[in-house]
Amino acid sequence: MSPDPRRSPILVVIAALLAVLALAAVAWWWLKPQPERLVTTGEPPPPLPYTYEWPDGATRGVDLPSTIYIPSIDRHLPIEPVKEIRSEPGEDQQAFLHRVRLDLVAYSSRQEIEACAEICSNGDEWSVKVTTIDSVAYCAVAPVCVDGHATTNESIHSHCPGRRALTARLADQLLSGGMYRSGDTLPRCDTEQFSRIDLASPRAGWLAARRHLVYKDLSGTIQRFKGEVGRR
């Protein structure tokens, strides 16, 4: 028996409508907001190796690098200046670093990213040039000092604020080698302890914690120094 020719147009219309509905469902799935990916692992992996890049005409050791370069993935990240801080007359290193700590903690709490600096001195005064790479989990310490000062071969850095729902940035994605993705919700950050990355560093250095200055010497011994939090 041959099909009723009067029913063919109806079947064509139904098939067309089903195809449109299928395409609409696919489009809706791809265009709808996707839930944030929650990273459940604790501390970040060591950053991919990188080098510093200076603009033409810059004075190495004084002028800030413009970017860091990650050769394994052929990507650049800008280094952004935050603040230059110098010691006050008669201020010793520890008092100066407590003042720096307050600035770094306030900055990281406000911006939700790490900040860091090389600690420098001319023998009588202390100074830092604070920078950031706009990363929640990493900081690239720019190897620079104010003019006339030299590095003490120590650095200071802050950690991201200790609250939930911090969001990974592009720098976190690139430096983690893709373990983090930009937009990931990261686990709570420990503001009071050196990370495993910090402890693995062969350099001595300081952590600008919310409650203390924390110091790691070349042997890995940790010391804490209290300060007058909230006073500048």
pLDDT in tens, the chain (232 residues): 555 555 566 666 666 666 656 565 544 444 444 445 655 556 789 999 999 999 999 999 999 999 999 999 999 999 999 999 999 999 999 999 999 999 999 999 999 999 999 999 999 999 999 999 999 999 999 999 999 999 999 999 999 998 878 999 999 999 999 999 999 999 888 999 999 999 999 999 999 999 999 999 999 999 999 865 333 3
Answer left, alpha or beta for residue 218, where phi above 0 means left and psi between -120 and 50 means alpha. Answer: alpha
Q: Please give the Cα distance from 29 to 37 (Å, whole number).
A: 17
Q: Using an 8 Å Cβ cutoff, are 226 and 212 in contact?
A: yes
pTM above 0.75, yes or no: yes
H or E segment and range at residue 21: helix 8-31
Query: Could you tell me how far CA 201 lies from the centroid of its own chain?
Result: 17
Tokens of 38: 């929650």
Domain ranges of the chain: 1-32, 51-226
What is the structure's pLDDT at 126?
A: 98
Q: Using an 8 Å Cβ cutoff, are 45 and 175 in contact?
A: no
